[in-house]
Amino acid sequence: MTGFVVSIILAAALLHAVWNAIVKTAADRTTTLGLVALGHVIPGVVMVAVLPLPEPESLIYVALSTVIHFGYFYMLGQAYKHGDLSVVYPIARGIVPALVALWAMIFAGEFLPLQAWIGIAVIACGIQLSSWTALRSGVGRTALGYALGTGFCISLYSLVDGLGVRLSGNTLSYWAWGAFGHLFIAGFIGVRKGPELPRIPLRSWAIGIAGGFVSMTAYGLVLFAKNFAPLGAVSALRETSVIFAALIGFVLLKEGNWLRRLGAAALMAFGVALIGLSV
């Protein structure tokens, strides 16, 4: 994997951590997730209007990804309802790299070398270390179930979009239609929260939609990288967003133990190096 591709994925991970920090600090996370989805739709509409259609065989992947993203947003909202983000997030993200690598091996015939699997394991350990104190305090059965469900959904849409974008013939078009598909997510949450929407401060609207722009940009970078690198390796590098989120929490939100977070960052950097040098 070239340094350019690695840098793109790490940039996406940083942006992903930024929008999760936005959700974390929101008073109403369900509404904020809806606004994040809306933040995908707005630029998606513009891009769909000016870009050519992706290849027809990729459109089924766009539709399937939209359905899975709907499940992802639901699972994520429920997980945050029943458990703290510092517990839910590392569980959900920690299982993703191995699952994506497994799905890619089964459905795409991508076989990673042993060194890459070791790198995935090292990154997974770093994810858990980044939130070790919270994880050690325990997690309820309901929160654990939704956290695992969230991770499972992430692994599925990572596989589906990885396969779809390679068939699309145009990464930008696939990205645009995937973003536009968030209309169903934003609409569902909007209907559920309808009476509350007029009372949402303008600042919250702006922050939530801006979070959507950031999230969309992050995923566009990941889609681009999936054209050039194995899906399991891309997913593992993307999950370094956890340590970026932890560092944001320490620096900006005054959370946690800096030595543990620094150790987790070093461990994950080692995992990134192992993957980058192996594929």
pLDDT tens digit sequence for 204-255 = 898 889 989 998 999 999 999 999 888 888 888 887 777 776 677 667 666 5
- Distance in angstroms (rounded) separating the CA atoms of residues 279 and 276: 6
DSSP string, the chain: --HHHHHHHHHHHHHHHHHHHHHHT-S-HHHHHHHHHHHHHHHHHHHHHHSPPPPHHHHHHHHHHHHHHHHHHHHHHHHHHHS-HHHHHHHHHHTHHHHHHHHHHHHS-----HHHHHHHHHHHHHHHHHTHHHHHT---HHHHHHHHHHHHHHHHHHHHHHHHHHHHS-HHHHHHHHHHTTHHHHHHHHHHTGGGGGGS-HHHHHHHHHHHHHHHHHHHHHHHHTTTS-HHHHHHHHTTHHHHHHHHHHHTS--S-HHHHHHHHHHHHHHHHHHHTT-
Q: Which domain holds residue 123?
A: 3-276
**Residue 277 pLDDT > 90, yes or no?**
no
Asked if residue 237 lies in contact with residue 10, where contact means CB atoms within 8 angstroms, the answer is: yes
Q: Contact 52/170 with Cβ under 8 angstroms?
A: yes
Given a contact cutoff of 8 angstroms between Cβ atoms, the answer to whether 51 and 223 are in contact is no
Judged by phi (left if over 0) then psi (alpha if -120 to 50, else beta), residue 139 lies in beta
Asked if residue 178 lies in contact with residue 161, where contact means CB atoms within 8 angstroms, the answer is: yes
Per-residue pLDDT of 87-123, as tens digits, reads 677 778 778 888 888 899 999 888 888 888 888 888 7
Q: How far apart are CA 70 and CA 84, in angstroms?
A: 21
Q: Give the chain's domain count.
A: 1
Q: Is 205 exposed, middle or buried (0-12, 13-18, 19+ CB in 10 A)?
A: middle
Q: Which position has the higher pLDDT, 174 or 130?
A: 174
Per-residue pLDDT of 177-187, as tens digits, reads: 999 999 998 99
Angle at 184 between CA 59 and CA 153, to 5 degrees: 70
pTM here is 0.82
- The CA–CA distances, whole Å, from 216 to 34, 150, 264 equal 14, 18, 27
pLDDT score recorded for residue 225: 92
Residue (of 248, 253, 247) closest to 265 by Cα position: 247
pLDDT tens digits, one per residue of 137-178 = 666 778 888 888 999 999 999 999 999 999 999 999 999 999
